[in-house]
Amino acid sequence: MSLGIIIVTHTPEMAEGLARLLRHIAKNVPVTFAGGNSMGQIGTSMSQVQLAVNTNEATELLAFYDFGSARRNVELASAFSAKPIHLYDVALVEGAHTAAVSLQAGVDRAGLDKQLLALQVKA
Amino acid sequence: MSLGIIIVTHTPEMAEGLARLLRHIAKNVPVTFAGGNSMGQIGTSMSQVQLAVNTNEATELLAFYDFGSARRNVELASAFSAKPIHLYDVALVEGAHTAAVSLQAGVDRAGLDKQLLALQVKA
């Protein structure tokens, strides 16, 4: 079992830029992302989320998203995925950053979940 | 007096993508951004923050940032700026989104500050 991170946002640039930052600070943590809809416009796309899930080399994923419809697409992708996907209703950038730093340092998911509680800002 | 938003992040893509989203949902709110260091690498740059401040057509700014050194560069830029700059220690994406939606809807800063309290996740 290995843990990876997926990022899902409403613009391609946000997901790409956040993934770039996470890969920089946590070189051993697999990070993949889906940003924008299928046309690269504002929105999200279930098939792009599936691609982020399938191309992530980890066997279990932590998902961070910006807004509601991104969350729904992660839930849909999760229903069709063999990999367990844990969805975090936390501040996107700050939560994903905390997760990347912690996973890189070898913190397990129970330990990480405790840290992320303080960043919970979504329903 | 008019209110605008500046975004400061450690990668150029994050700032650009978030600004794109805010401009889409809040067409009348001036949004400018600074992302990455002066070489376009991971970091932030005081001179780029100053550029975001100076090119924002609003007379008073709300600043949203990702991490510590971004905050410090906003503070420095603020010290040299004639425009009042209000720094928010809130979840970057969720806070800036809330601010954009609220300003677009005509909410004043006192009203917005109340909404942003729930998104405070930084020291």
Is residue A122 assigned to a domain? no
Instruction: Indicate yes or no: CB of A91 within 8 angstroms of CB of B35.
Output: no
Instruction: Indicate yes or no: CB of A97 within 8 angstroms of CB of B20.
Output: no
If you search the block for the tokens 């809130």, which residue do you land on? B90
The confidence band for A123, taking pLDDT boundaries of 50, 70 and 90, is confident
User: So what's the pLDDT on residue A46?
Assistant: 96
User: So what's the pLDDT on residue A23?
Assistant: 98
If you search the block for the tokens 């040299």, which residue do you land on? B80
**Token digits of residue A3:** 């843990």
User: So what's the pLDDT on residue A95?
Assistant: 98
Nearest CA among B59, B113, B96 for reference residue B81 = B59
Is A97 in the B-facing interface, judged by CB distances under 8 Å?
Answer: yes
Nearest CA among A82, A67, A79, A80 for reference residue A7 = A67
Is residue A104 assigned to a domain? yes
Measured between CA atoms, how close is A46 to chain B, in angstroms? 19
User: So what's the pLDDT on residue A35?
Assistant: 98
List Cα–Cα distances, A86 to A41, A60, A78, A123, B5, in angstroms. 26, 8, 9, 15, 32
Range of the domain at B8: 3-117
Q: What is the pLDDT of residues A101-120, one digit of tens each?
A: 999 999 999 999 999 999 99
Single pTM value for the model: 0.97
Residue A1 has pLDDT above 90, yes or no: no
Q: What is the pLDDT of residues A76-103, one digit of tens each?
A: 999 999 999 999 999 999 999 999 999 9
Name the H helices within chain B.
Answer: 12-25, 46-55, 68-79, 92-104, 109-117
DSSP E strand boundaries for A1-123: 3-9, 31-35, 60-65, 85-88
Is residue A123 assigned to a domain? no
User: So what's the pLDDT on residue B1?
Assistant: 76
Query: Hey, which residues 7-46 in chain A have their CB within 8 Å of chain B?
Result: 9-18, 20-21, 24, 35, 42
**Token digits of residue A105:** 């340092």
Q: How many angstroms separate the CA atoms of A86 and A88, rounded?
A: 6
Is residue A103 assigned to a domain? yes
Is residue A101 assigned to a domain? yes
- Spatial neighbors of B45 by CB under 8 A, at least 6 apart, are B34, B36, B37, B38, B73
Residue A95, classed as helix, strand or coil, is: helix
In this structure, how many other beta carbons lie within 10 angstroms of the beta carbon of residue B68?
Answer: 12
Is residue A27 assigned to a domain? yes
pLDDT along chain B (123 residues), means of 10: 95 98 98 97 97 98 97 97 97 98 97 97 88
Q: How many angstroms separate the CA atoms of B51 and B54, rounded?
A: 5
Q: What is the pLDDT of residues A52-74, one digit of tens each?
A: 999 999 999 999 999 999 999 99
Chain B nearest-CA residue for A68: B94
Write down the ipTM of this complex.
Answer: 0.97
Instruction: Indicate yes or no: CB of A21 within 8 angstroms of CB of B10.
Output: yes
Contacts of residues A107-112 at CB distance under 8 Å and 24 or more positions apart, as own/partner, are A109/A3, A109/A62, A112/A62
Nearest beta carbon to residue B119 from set A15, A21, A121: A121
CA B80, distance to chain mean position in Å, is 17
Nearest beta carbon to residue A91 from set B10, B20, B94: B94
Is B66 in the A-facing interface, judged by CB distances under 8 Å?
Answer: yes
Is residue A108 assigned to a domain? yes
CATH number at residue A64: 3.40.50.510
Is residue B45 assigned to a domain? yes
Domain count, chain B: 1
Contacts of A119 in chain B (CB under 8 A): 91, 121
Measured between CA atoms, how close is A79 to chain B, in angstroms? 26
